[in-house]
Amino acid sequence: MIDQKTRPNVPVGAPMKRPPVIFLTAILVLEVTVFGGILASYAGTGPQQSEPVPPPKMEDPETPTEYEREYQEWQACEKESAPLKQGTMLIEFLQKHPKSMILPNVNAAYKHLLFTCSESEKYQELETLSEQWLKYHSNDPQRPPDYLQAIAYSAKAAAKLKHYKLLVQRQIEYCNLQPSGALAKEIADTYREMDEKDKYLEWMQKAAKYSEFKSNFLLRYELVDYYLSVKDLPKAAEWARETLNAAGLVKEPGTETRDKIQAARHTCCDVIGKDLYKQGKFDEAIRSFKQALREKDYGDGYYQIALCFHKKKAVDDAMLWYAKTELWCKEDGRKCGDIEANAKTNLENIYKSLHDNTVIGIEKIYKKVREKPDSYWTSDPEPDRASFNPTQKNQLRQQCGQ
């Protein structure tokens, strides 16, 4: 699994425990951009929405005109203070008077109602009202300009209420109308919350294909993490290579991003090395583990290289790397788990097989290790790891073990 001390800040296998964020941020943007004028007017910071023109004084009060009847109905809607009841009355008005001169005011009132529920965090009312609005307009030959906003309101409410089935339905509808990698990623996150793994993987891969995410190494790294959590090493290695490619496209990263790239490269090279080891590609695996060691010094890297040499029957090299593993684990009280003991046992077994079943003289192996310069353990015929200088981006793209 990924080293928790150095791993980039991405989830590990378990479902998310928070509602998606990017989509909700988009909602707030839309509230300003789509309805900027109307919302500003209702907030008292912009030009006010004009009221319907009152009807002229009736000559015969017993026979009101059609406009007068509509105006009276509108006034009744306007005076209603209960959000759900007011919303129902406004929809009934739209259904009853589809060509009324007061329609702009009715539509504005409904949008203001949605905005007010959103701002006051009345999410159950917001969900009901936005869904009611969407249902009313579902058969329109042409969607009204505010249709996307209603979808966004519905999604916001569903996220807050943890109604994930509705949330993902509205997210997908929105993404179909205005595709974006950010929203595709949020859809993946929602499916992960719902524990629908196939859908989660489908939408993560869709998100990775958007040009806006071509250098998003953390998105791909999340898939490395996911496949490690389900013990699918080949798929983890596949996405590790994708992560390295994306990291190579990051332009002029800052300090924090550099640290995340380094942590991701360390883990990805380690994952790729272990996959190559399982395939019996020991030379490539050694190169990969050495690249991982260049990113971060770690006991398992030395141990994995020792195992590769052991499998290659290069016993002198294997003993050297087993000894290096043991000594590294003993430094500064490092905790290596079973690695230190296994390295010691393997070293002694090889040495005994070469020295009449005795460990007499084995200290010379440890002496050789101590005499080696630090650069020996990470030296490789392949170029050293890429710096993050923009002029060296092509080096950064190099795949571990290749």
The pLDDT score that the predictor gives to residue 365 is 96
- Chain position carrying tokens 């020991």: 282
> Residue 145: what pLDDT?
82
Do the beta carbons of residue 233 and residue 271 sit within 8 Å? yes
Quote the DSSP letter at residue 54.
P
pLDDT at 385: 44
The residue behind tokens 């996911």 is 226
List, run by run, the mean pLDDT of 10-residue segments along the chain (402 residues). 44 38 41 29 34 54 76 91 95 93 91 95 97 92 87 96 97 95 96 97 97 96 97 98 96 95 97 98 97 96 98 97 96 88 97 96 96 89 43 47 60
What was the pLDDT predicted at 194? 97
CA atoms within 13 A on the CB side of 263: 19
> Each residue of 11-43: b (16+ CB within 10 Å) or e?
eeeeeeeebbeebeebbeebbeebbeebbebbe
